Structure 1
Amino acid sequence: MPGTSLPIEEIRGEFLKALKGASPRILLKAPTGSGKSTGIPPMMDDAGLGGNGLIVVVQPRRMAARLLARHVARLRGVELGREVGYMVRFERHISSRTRIAYVTDGVLERWLTDRPGLEGVSAVVFDEFHERSLSGDLSLGRVLDLQEGPRPDLAVVVMSATLEMSGLREYMGESCRELEACGRQYPVEITYRPARPVSDGRGRVAPPSVWDQAAEAVREAVKDAACGDILLFMPGVYEIRRTVELLEGKPWLGGRDIFPLYGALSPEQQNRAVEKGGRPRVIVSTNVAETSLTIEGVRTVIDTGWVRQSGWDPYRGMDTLHLVRISKASAAQRAGRAGRVAEGRCFRLWSEAEQAKKAEFDPPECFRVDLSGAVLNLCSWGVADPEEFRWLDRPDPLVLQRARHLLASLGAVDGEGRLTETGRRMTAFPLPPRLGRLIVAGQDERCAVELAAIAALMQGEG
């Protein structure tokens, strides 16, 4: 956007040049604070792409899609849902006038099923691609196939702050243009605070709870008058609620507001947490605040080092959430939140020795989760053999075989791997195949409402 001071503006000329020509593909690495999420889509619109069709900006999280669209609409001086809008599960704020649409990767995956040619779309921008969601991987492969086939006019941009580029560059092909932008990052002092065992008063010693450990870090942080707002990362909603309860009313907080922040909150509650107010804040968040979102005023980050991550549960026969340690890349992203506006500080609630043992990056979701839903979507796209799909990281053939066997047992595919009528009906529901089949059976037996309630309860268990 002309007139802004975002660091991403420094590569405007290179980026617009790379957009010209046939079937542009761009791989953009831009660090935290560069303004890529809010700067690149308007840049593409200014270049005229929005007049030829929708510029779709793909986000791995619903909250990021909604808040980014709201911010860009405000920067552009337009009403949200007109020129700039968003679409996530259960929310649609786009219109016939929309030129830039922020959507989740799940929404794009659904569009690719309902509108196989992405009619009315001029460009697809995959933001924060380092999170490597399964929907994002599938959608990128499908979009590249489209660009090489019936949609050579489609522009494709993949961007991230922490991205291992070599494998992705090779995957996107020789025509891919690689760009890198500078960021705006102030120094962040890293302080390690591993858990110290405490006595329970009866002669037994145990490690403190994660919320007790975090509260002690908050208490230390607020002793510094320049600590600014505090962003505290917790693994899940339960831990967030326990932390908020523990902090509320503490006299040493100095009258700070305390806000929870996670995806299931209402938009109004999320807005209150991320928007700068008149009083200093403590924001207790899941990893939804790890990327994309800039929360003004944050100069201190407290990181527990844990996340709840989706993964296959062989006992339940479906995916569930597992408590796992974050990678070095995630830790760097979280710490970077403290250095957006000034010098900051990050308290890591683990030791330097534990930091050295962390994995460099989180494993792609395609290595962790059940692939039956992905294989069902591939079948709906006409890919009968999932091993022939354009995988960025090819899953274990045995996992793909297990997925195909499950779909065949549910009657979703025939012996040749082709989608059946039952399978086509299952794709209408954004559910794991077992639950989708449950709803189809409910429709046939005239008890869809009851079985939909059961499916909702089963999904909520994770």
Structure 2
Amino acid sequence: MLAADVFFLNSLPIHSLLAPLRAAFSRHAQVILEAPTGAGKSTALPLAMLDWPEISGRILMLEPRRVAARSVAHYIAHCRQQKVGQEVGYRVRGEAKVSANTRLEIVTEGILTRMIQQDPELTGIEMIIFDEIHERHLTTDLGLALALEVQASLRDDLKILAMSATLSGLALGELMPEAVTLHSEGRSFPVEVEYRPAPTQQHWIDHLGRCVLDLVSASSANVDKTASNNAVLVFLPGKGEISRLQQFLRERLAQDAFLICPLYGELSGAEQDSAIAATTDGRRKIVLATNVAESSLTIEGIGFVIDSGYKRQASFNPKTGVTRLGLKRISQASATQRSGRAGRLSAGACVRLWSQEEHGRMLRADEPEISQADLVAMAHDCAYWGAKSFSDLMLLTPPPSVNEALAWQLLQRLGMVDGDNKLTSHGKAAYELGCHPRLAHMLLSAKSLGANYEQTAQLGSLACLLSGIVEARGLPKKGADIMNYLHFACQGQAGQQAQQWQKKLGLTADLSKVATHAHHSDVGLLLALAYPDRIAKARGVEGYQLANGTGVVLAAEDALSQTPWMVVADFQETEGRNAGRIYLASPFQPSLFDSELKDLLEIHEICGWDEGKGRVIAERQYKVGQILVKTETIAKPERKQIVAALLGYIRQQGLQILNWNANLEQFQYRLKLATEFDAGSDWPKVDDVALLASLETWLAPYLENVNNLPQLVKLDCFGFVANCLSWHQKQRLDELLPTSWPLVTGTSAPIVYDESGRALLRVRLQETFGMAQSPMLAQDKLKVTMELLSPAQRPLALTADLASFWQGPYVEVKKEMRGRYPKHLWPDDPVNTLPTKFTKKKTLGLAQP
């Protein structure tokens, strides 16, 4: 090791924890280490472990990001004065530099999960280090869960070290209750933070560009161009924003004085190394990076940070089954990580493009990826491991139940797990291909089709090319037609991956020839196998409807824009837009539904009401998801279909189309009151909502001979509803809430109930003489309101307290009515007067012996 490296590493804060860490691992198999930015946990610690005599096996260190894994491996190998791939190596998706002599292997992007699945005992591996676990990547959470299970069931000698910049909000202690927890100081210099919010969010990139220009202009006079900390790191949400800012700065900064370097995941290793390394030509470096530069990655010479405060966040939308990209504010923890990059070598400065007040309202920490990700691949991992639910794993955070359910449903639809989420032979073969379950299903299905039909012998190799395109990073812009990228998939890393899939499938075709002779019909077939829910049909003026119901659009100038049917391999929903944008697709032939893809069609027989014909019509619909492919008329629908159509028509139009007599509304009001005052009895609900919901119970049995509207309106529907009550209930209802009240005069006065719960008795005043109180119903729980009428049946008074009426209002009524109706009785003592429905003369005549 070089002397300068020895001095630097020995000065890092983590150095003071090496002895306690060794002691902890001598007694425990699990250690949790909290070490802030600059402590040296990602470099100095694993480097030191290589010289610990008690570790004779291999060390695996998991890094959340590909660029960090490569960078850390190169740095540690340099410190050992070796090339990467000897004692220190790395393995990321599509690239590996390891050998039989590798003792420290840095892995990422699900590599650890695959290693555990292939060798659950992790033969030869003595320690697993989980770096930057606070970032809560999905692969990290899953890798930790599997490693803990391996340690608990198969390898009690396996050592696990979980490292995090902060333990705040992490449930590591609950997941690893026996672990020793150690804390390290960070090593960073003071960073001066300035808040410069954009005047308007519409043009924040221009504001950011001006901030960069202001910073380099103001600091140029104070910073030595040859100083080791004059570089500027700018954090942006994604590749698009980086490209826009890069163009903005190139137009305004001299190329001989400034080196502008983008840094994001899709770049090649050489391009990433260029952004990380120090400049050698005297130019001042400006690095435009996504959040890949937040942690575990040392970019040489950074003394200034400008933080946009944004990140591009992918979140799974369970309604559409796709991942939506949105521009989100970062968390306070991320802001601290980002600003800390300016203080790694000396005092630095950070400009934040938001206000200090807004900073206080930002989330304290980022949400774990498991709470917002597509979980199909993770469910496949679970099934291969033998777990039938995510709850079977020791996860830091449980996933949303709806996201997990959708993941298992898709695996079942692809035939990779059975109804109990147990892995099938098809699912096992698919997992061993090492790609997304959708693509694995396409590869295996293509091989099977190619073996059965001579004309489709190249389907398997074509599927390998398509899978390479879908999984490739940094595709050139050649429109949405996926066939435009077939020759691209024959080269470079994509070509290597396609060849690996070919080898696993036992295929030997020349990929270049396969790309040259490919047909849209075959491409459409293969993509439909992987994405049956994304078969799309043109709709309206513009756009398409996917089988899953989602709306998507294609650029008007794209060559596929007039295609009536297609399969969409890649599209994204963007926050603020009504429809997702198509990025990769292929024309599709619906005739495939009559052959290779006939199993995708779902058959629905429906009956409906034809308003014009006034009768039921029926048809058989063939659908893929929510897309109607074709229909067939059913000449003689079955009786159950006719009944279902009639009930559907009634629900659509409402109960008013049926033949009711006036009793229904009163019946409903009475039953509502009975439910209130006689709670002990099981009274049925007969309000409109309940009746519509239960048509199958009370109406459907009487529709056996009904085929049209005239026949329907002849039915005695009130009688059907009344039959919902038993004989005992009918008697009980009449007892509690009668429809009339018998008077002494022989009159049976009707009682009218209303929606408010009132019982109204309309009666001529003379017939109430002798009544001291208003009648009571429902076992004296409901007082009747009386509408007292004149001899001409006109309202005189409305009262629910007859006793009070006699003592007060009646006096005035009597005075007025004696003059208007002199032939009728208006006694001074109505309570002690016999009631009558006749005039005074007739009443007196009837009273004589």
TM bucket by the smaller chain? Answer: over 0.9
SS at match of 1:259: strand
Q: In the TM superposition, what is the alpha-carbon distance from 1:277 to its structure 2 partner?
A: 1.4
CA distance in 2, matches of 1:111, 1:407: 22
AA at the equivalent of 2:147: V
Q: In the TM superposition, what is the alpha-carbon distance from 1:44 to its structure 2 partner?
A: 2.1
SS at match of 2:18: helix
Residue 409 (1) aligns with residue 413 (2): yes
Instruction: State the identity as a percent.
Output: 37
The answer (yes or no) to whether the contact 2:416–2:423 under 8 Å persists in 1 is yes
CA distance in 2, matches of 1:141, 1:56: 15
Partner of 2:557: none
Q: Which among 209, 214, 227 is matched to residue 215 of structure 1? A: 209
Unaligned segments of structure 1, at least 5 residues: 198-205
SS at match of 1:208: helix
Q: In the TM superposition, what is the alpha-carbon distance from 1:137 to its structure 2 partner?
A: 0.6
Unaligned segments of structure 2, at least 5 residues: 224-229, 451-458, 473-569, 573-849
Q: Which among 321, 327, 330 is matched to residue 323 of structure 1? A: 327
**C-alpha distance 49-448 of structure 1, shift in aligned 2 (>3 A):** farther
**C-alpha distance 131-49 of structure 1, shift in aligned 2 (>3 A):** farther
**C-alpha distance 158-417 of structure 1, shift in aligned 2 (>3 A):** same
Indicate the larger mover: 62-71 or 418-427: 418-427
Deviations 1:123-177 (A, max 9, x none): 000000011111111110111111111101111000011332662112112x200
AA at the equivalent of 2:37: T
TM-score, length of structure 1 as denominator length? 0.92
CA distance in 2, matches of 1:327, 1:253: 34
Partner of 2:463: 451
Residue 18 (1) aligns with residue 24 (2): yes
Q: Which runs of 4+ in 1 moved over 6 A?
A: none
Residue 73 (1) aligns with residue 73 (2): no
SS at match of 1:231: strand
Partner of 2:456: none
Residue 47 (1) aligns with residue 41 (2): no
Partner of 1:192: 195
Alignment of 1:83-98 (within 5 A): 83-98=87-102
Indicate the larger mover: 273-282 or 447-456: 447-456
Partner of 2:183: 180
**C-alpha distance 196-430 of structure 1, shift in aligned 2 (>3 A):** farther
The answer (yes or no) to whether the contact 1:49–1:55 under 8 Å persists in 2 is no
CA distance in 2, matches of 1:364, 1:8: 27
**C-alpha distance 172-149 of structure 1, shift in aligned 2 (>3 A):** same
Q: Which among 103, 125, 137 is matched to residue 99 of structure 1? A: 103
SS at match of 2:351: strand
Indicate the larger mover: 136-145 or 159-168: 159-168
AA at the equivalent of 1:241: S
Indicate the larger mover: 246-255 or 160-169: 246-255
Partner of 2:372: 368
Q: State how many pairs are aligned.
A: 450
AA at the equivalent of 2:29: P
CA distance in 1, matches of 2:14, 2:288: 29
Partner of 1:230: 232
Deviations 1:75-129 (A, max 9, x none): 1212210000100011110111001011104110111121122112110000000
SS at match of 1:109: helix
Q: In the TM superposition, what is the alpha-carbon distance from 1:308 to its structure 2 partner?
A: 1.6
Indicate the larger mover: 451-460 or 128-137: 451-460
AA at the equivalent of 1:24: A
Q: In the TM superposition, what is the alpha-carbon distance from 1:433 to its structure 2 partner?
A: 2.4
Alignment of 1:349-364 (within 5 A): 349-364=353-368
Partner of 2:393: 389
CA distance in 2, matches of 1:454, 1:317: 21
CA distance in 2, matches of 1:181, 1:317: 43
The answer (yes or no) to whether the contact 1:50–1:99 under 8 Å persists in 2 is no
**C-alpha distance 320-116 of structure 1, shift in aligned 2 (>3 A):** farther
Indicate the larger mover: 426-435 or 10-19: 426-435
CA distance in 1, matches of 2:328, 2:464: 31
**C-alpha distance 234-12 of structure 1, shift in aligned 2 (>3 A):** same
Deviations 1:399-458 (A, max 9, x none): 322222221111111122210011112212443322332222222223133334444455
The answer (yes or no) to whether the contact 2:113–2:146 under 8 Å persists in 1 is no
CA distance in 1, matches of 2:433, 2:249: 41
The answer (yes or no) to whether the contact 2:304–2:342 under 8 Å persists in 1 is yes
TM-score, length of structure 2 as denominator length? 0.51
Q: In the TM superposition, what is the alpha-carbon distance from 1:7 to its structure 2 partner?
A: 1.5
SS at match of 1:60: coil
The answer (yes or no) to whether the contact 1:105–1:139 under 8 Å persists in 2 is no
Partner of 1:203: none
CA distance in 2, matches of 1:99, 1:43: 12
Partner of 1:273: 275
Q: In the TM superposition, what is the alpha-carbon distance from 1:273 to its structure 2 partner?
A: 1.0
CA distance in 1, matches of 2:127, 2:54: 7
AA at the equivalent of 2:40: G
**C-alpha distance 44-271 of structure 1, shift in aligned 2 (>3 A):** same
The answer (yes or no) to whether the contact 2:127–2:158 under 8 Å persists in 1 is yes
Q: Which among 128, 142, 146 is matched to residue 142 of structure 1? A: 146
The answer (yes or no) to whether the contact 2:318–2:406 under 8 Å persists in 1 is no
**C-alpha distance 436-49 of structure 1, shift in aligned 2 (>3 A):** farther
The answer (yes or no) to whether the contact 1:50–1:100 under 8 Å persists in 2 is no
**C-alpha distance 373-273 of structure 1, shift in aligned 2 (>3 A):** same
SS at match of 2:185: coil
Partner of 1:341: 345
SS at match of 1:37: coil
**C-alpha distance 321-112 of structure 1, shift in aligned 2 (>3 A):** farther
CA distance in 2, matches of 1:142, 1:236: 31
CA RMSD of aligned residues (A): 2.0
Q: Which among 25, 28, 34 is matched to residue 29 of structure 1? A: 34
SS at match of 1:243: helix
Residue 162 (1) aligns with residue 166 (2): yes
SS at match of 1:140: helix
CA distance in 2, matches of 1:74, 1:99: 15
CA distance in 2, matches of 1:104, 1:334: 22
AA at the equivalent of 2:192: E
CA distance in 2, matches of 1:246, 1:430: 41
AA at the equivalent of 1:440: L
AA at the equivalent of 1:451: A
Deviations 1:221-242 (A, max 9, x none): 1112346110001111111111
CA distance in 1, matches of 2:268, 2:164: 27
The answer (yes or no) to whether the contact 2:417–2:424 under 8 Å persists in 1 is yes
SS at match of 1:86: strand
SS at match of 1:119: coil
CA distance in 1, matches of 2:471, 2:357: 37
Partner of 2:403: 399
Partner of 2:635: none
